[in-house]
Amino acid sequence: MIITPYQTRACVGYVPSLPKLSESLKKAYLLGGGFKFLNYDTQNNCSAAILQPDCPGQIKPFGHPIFVKGVNGDDNIWIADGRTMFSVDPLSQEVKPKLIMNAALTWLETRLRLQLLWDSPNFPIVQSCMDYPIMLYGKVMSEALARKYGLNPASIARCDMLFAYAFWCFSHTEEQYNQASKESLAHLLAMTIRSSGPDINNVIMELPYFHSLNDVVTALQDDQVVGTPKMTSITVVTLFEIAGSFWHITAAAPASEIICCALEHPPTWMACVFLSLSNHSIKNNIGSVAQRYKRLMNPDQFVNSIVHLIGDK
């Protein structure tokens, strides 16, 4: 189960800079001001806040939410960098969101609220909203591979099942995996992606629990798993390249880095799916695939469940 963005291949390079950045954010928090607070998780003594341009101190830009421990006694905080999305009135010093950044700010807040719940005892309620993101992940990724490698329908279906299984692993603990039989997991995924349970069982039966995209790539390289030898040289970088067209919104991090992170990090993928479905001015591959499969699974139900889940508390 991937909890934070910094566990992903796309963001692991930032890990060495996190302690110093976390300390700078803690100092800024104690000085007061410069934070827009969103939710508070009472079970985890943790809040979520957006860093604004009026924050005190010199804090380097950061592209993904950072966990800061012990900001005020036992209180903890997840912080996202929203400084580029706000402006400060030179006369009143009032901080206001930039209209042109409305979609980016909505995405940033959605991701941060989901991250707060994801890294807490409340994570099962986020898992309860995971069926649609799992289904769409499988469709988006398998169709992208089909275009790149010219896959036949049988291999496309196998890739769909493989990616659905992968994202289930990314969004569930290894303990949950061990408690479920492969047959019951195949049945669950069959209902999620509207496919045949025995077919999925044939694909995933011999697969281990997937910890990262490295495991996905190993499976894609195996023609016994995907039914074709066309992807024997595929790499994680290949997956990043084909995902580049999925997302075009820069929000603290570059769009390409966001979507590469989303391939492994459930809150990031869920936020991308949510905004693609809820903001009809956004045109991207995620929304296009969702429209084609809306009869398979209702996207409005997912949007409503996320609105309910992350509402202000």
Mean confidence (pLDDT) of the chain: 90
Section 210-233 average pLDDT: 95
Please list the residues that pair with 49 across neighbouring strands.
37, 79
Band of the pLDDT at 306, cuts 50, 70, 90?
very high
Say what percent of the chain tops pLDDT 90: 62
Section 18-37 average pLDDT: 89
**Distance separating alpha carbons of residues 111 and 93, to the nearest angstrom:** 27
**Chain centre distance of CA 312:** 20
pLDDT digits (tens, 9 = 90+) for 8-23: 999 999 999 999 999 9
Q: What is the pLDDT of residue 260?
A: 97
Look at residue 312 and tell me whether its pLDDT is greater than 70.
Answer: no
- At residue 23, the 3 state secondary structure works out as helix
Q: What is the pLDDT of residue 106?
A: 94
- Full-model pTM: 0.93
Phi, psi of 32 (to 5 degrees): 90, 145
**Distance separating alpha carbons of residues 200 and 185, to the nearest angstrom:** 9
Q: Whose CA is closest to 205, among 239, 158, 251, 249?
A: 158
**Helices 197-204 + 182-193 axis angle, to 10:** 120
Helix (H) or strand (E) holding 159: helix 153-170
Q: What residues contact residue 230 under an 8 Å CB cut-off, 6+ apart?
A: 149, 150, 151, 155
Residue with tokens 């209209």: 99
pLDDT digits (tens, 9 = 90+) for 272-290: 999 999 988 888 889 889 8
pLDDT digits (tens, 9 = 90+) for 224-270: 999 999 999 999 999 999 998 899 998 999 999 999 999 999 999 99
Look at residue 114 and tell me whether its pLDDT is greater than 70.
Answer: yes
Section 161-165 average pLDDT: 95
Section 111-139 average pLDDT: 93
Q: What is the pLDDT of residue 313?
A: 42
Q: Kindly tell me the burial class for residue 282, based on how many C-beta atoms sit within 10 Å of its own C-beta (0-12, 13-18, 19 or more).
A: middle
Q: Count of alpha carbons within 13 Å of 209, Cβ hemisphere only? A: 16
CB 65 within 8 A of CB 25: no
Look at residue 197 and tell me whether its pLDDT is greater than 70.
Answer: no
**Distance separating alpha carbons of residues 159 and 155, to the nearest angstrom:** 6
The type of residue at 77 is I
Band of the pLDDT at 198, cuts 50, 70, 90?
low
